């Protein structure tokens, strides 16, 4: 059994190296190597293996992975992190690998609201507690232990408030918005947009002052956001505001504006994540605002429920994280990161 487990972990590490080179679909944390050395409970040691299935490895998810790994190690576990690169087939394969490795629980940040359900079901079928984190997955409740997340509608509300405050401070300004969504098929993406629509686009007082002129999905990809922005600027030269759902996409937007020879300062650009990428653009003055996701708190909360699962406790099927989304600007970002344990 030890030899088989070691081979599985080595295979996962091969996927990790391939993914770092841009050609693979999976990645694994370095702590899996330690697990292969015999520290997991399934191998007779004291530290249980805990699996983490990540939907991607953009700048935000890299930071999220660090927090997951940090909190798992602090709890005395051996974390194994696998990356699906947005592919639900790879996600299912990753989760099956985590189960076969002997993980005592699996945390899933799903690729797709519907398409990730088989990965959750695999955990349920194997009797492995599954903690769905960050993004809802339409799986049978019997298949997972609990769902922990912030209120994604609130993320859009925070963006809306920033835009509304900008309009109040600039009463002669009319904003023509290009909205660039994240991943298609994601309930969190839909909820974020709905929050922005409800609290900004649909407000009677904003009629004629905020116009949604173009919208498209960029799948949380900077290059796609770049190409979409280029097309939008060509088709709708009146656009002077971009609202997007990830800092990587904001980077694509900013670079596309620059490539057109247009002044970035002429555009209001609002994002979500407060990742290292977003922070750099905030401090350069090219990004006006982003929405901090309290990623460390998500990792801590997920770890709390992993422990409850290991202890055999019964919990609610949904456990929201209060104040998960907060506005970040160049002026408050350092203080905000410290307050949320992210600096």
Distance CA 290, CA 60 (A): 12
Distance CA 205, CA 208 (A): 8
Q: What angle do CA 125, 127, 130 make, to 5 degrees?
A: 90
Mean pLDDT, residues 102-109: 98
The neighbour count for residue 84, using CB atoms within 10 Å, is 29
Q: What is the DSSP letter of 114?
A: T
3-class SS of residue 213? strand
Radius of gyration of the chain (CA): 21
Distance CA 282, CA 17 (A): 32
Q: What angle do CA 309, 94, 246 make, to 5 degrees?
A: 90
Distance CA 241, CA 180 (A): 11
pLDDT digits (tens, 9 = 90+) for 43-62: 445 799 999 999 988 888 89
User: Of the CATH numbers 2.60.34.10, 3.40.50.700, 3.40.50.2300, 3.30.1490.20, which one belongs to the domain with range 2-144?
Assistant: 3.40.50.2300
Which two structure tokens, joined as six digits, stand for 163?
């835009």
Higher pLDDT, 254 or 23: 254
For the chain, the structural domain boundaries read: 2-144, 152-293
Strands 290-293 and 325-328: antiparallel
- What is the pTM (predicted TM-score) of this model? 0.77
Q: Would you give the distance in Å from CA 319 to the centre of its chain?
A: 17
* CATH topology match: 2-144 vs 152-293: yes
Q: Which CATH architecture has domain 152-293?
A: 3-Layer(aba) Sandwich (3.40)
Contact 79, 48 (CB under 8 A): no
pLDDT for residue 60: 83
For the chain, helix, strand, coil in percent to 5 are 50, 20, 30
Q: Which residues pair with 148 in a beta bridge?
A: 133, 319
pLDDT over 70 at 18, yes or no? no
pLDDT digits (tens, 9 = 90+) for 196-241: 999 999 999 999 999 999 999 999 999 999 999 999 999 999 999 9
Contact 149, 320 (CB under 8 A): yes
3-class SS of residue 37? helix
pLDDT for residue 244: 98
Nearest CA among 294, 275, 291, 297 for reference residue 195? 291
Which two structure tokens, joined as six digits, stand for 279?
């922070």
Distance CA 74, CA 62 (A): 18
Nearest CA among 244, 226, 247, 225 for reference residue 293? 247
Distance CA 181, CA 272 (A): 11
pLDDT digits (tens, 9 = 90+) for 52-90: 999 988 888 898 999 999 999 999 999 999 999 989 999
Quick one: pLDDT band at residue 249, thresholds 50, 70, 90? very high
CA distances to 95, 245, 296 from 158, in Å? 34, 12, 19
pLDDT for residue 8: 40
Tell me the helices (H) and strands (E) count for the chain, helix number first: 12, 12
Nearest CA among 143, 135, 148, 145 for reference residue 186? 135
Per the prediction, the chain carries an average pLDDT of 88
CA distances to 9, 175, 274 from 32, in Å? 7, 49, 28
Nearest CA among 30, 93, 21, 81 for reference residue 56? 81
pLDDT over 50 at 141, yes or no? yes
Query: Which H helix or E strand runs over 118?
Result: helix 117-126
Nearest CA among 302, 267, 275 for reference residue 291? 275
Distance CA 198, CA 221 (A): 26
pLDDT over 70 at 42, yes or no? no
């Amino acid at each position: 059994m030890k030899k088989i487990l070691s081979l599985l972990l080595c295979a996962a590490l091969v996927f990790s190296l391939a993914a770092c080179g841009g050609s693979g679909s999976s990645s694994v944390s370095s702590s899996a190597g330690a697990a292969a050395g015999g520290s997991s409970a399934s191998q007779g040691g004291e530290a249980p293996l805990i699996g983490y299935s990540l939907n991607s490895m953009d700048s935000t998810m890299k930071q999220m992975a660090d927090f997951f790994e940090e909190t798992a190690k602090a709890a005395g576990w051996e974390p194994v992190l696998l990356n699906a690169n947005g592919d639900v087939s790879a996600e299912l394969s990753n989760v099956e690998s985590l189960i076969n490795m002997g993980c005592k629980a699996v945390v899933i940040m799903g690729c797709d609201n519907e398409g990730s359900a088989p990965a959750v079901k695999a955990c349920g079928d194997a009797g492995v507690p599954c903690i769905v984190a960050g993004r809802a997955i339409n799986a049978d409740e019997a298949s997972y232990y609990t769902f922990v997340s912030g209120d994604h509608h609130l993320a859009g509300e925070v963006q809306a408030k920033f835009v509304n405050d900008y309009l109040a401070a600039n009463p002669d300004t009319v904003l023509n918005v290009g909205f660039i969504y994240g991943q298609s098929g994601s309930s969190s993406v839909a909820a974020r947009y709905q929050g922005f629509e409800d609290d900004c686009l649909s407000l009677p007082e904003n009629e004629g002052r905020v116009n949604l002129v173009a919208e498209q999905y960029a799948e949380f990809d900077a290059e796609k956001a770049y190409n979409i922005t280029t097309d939008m600027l060509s088709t709708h030269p009146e656009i002077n505001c971009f609202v997007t759902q990830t800092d990587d996409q904001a980077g694509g937007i900013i670079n596309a504006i620059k490539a057109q020879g247009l002044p970035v300062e002429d555009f209001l650009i609002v994002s979500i994540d407060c990742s290292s990428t977003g922070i750099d653009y905030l401090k350069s003055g090219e990004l006006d605002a982003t929405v901090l996701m309290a990623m460390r708190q998500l990792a801590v909360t997920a770890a709390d429920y992993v422990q409850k699962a290991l202890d055999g406790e019964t919990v609610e099927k949904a456990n929201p994280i209060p104040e998960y989304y907060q506005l970040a600007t160049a002026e408050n970002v350092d203080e905000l990161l410290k307050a949320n344990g992210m600096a």
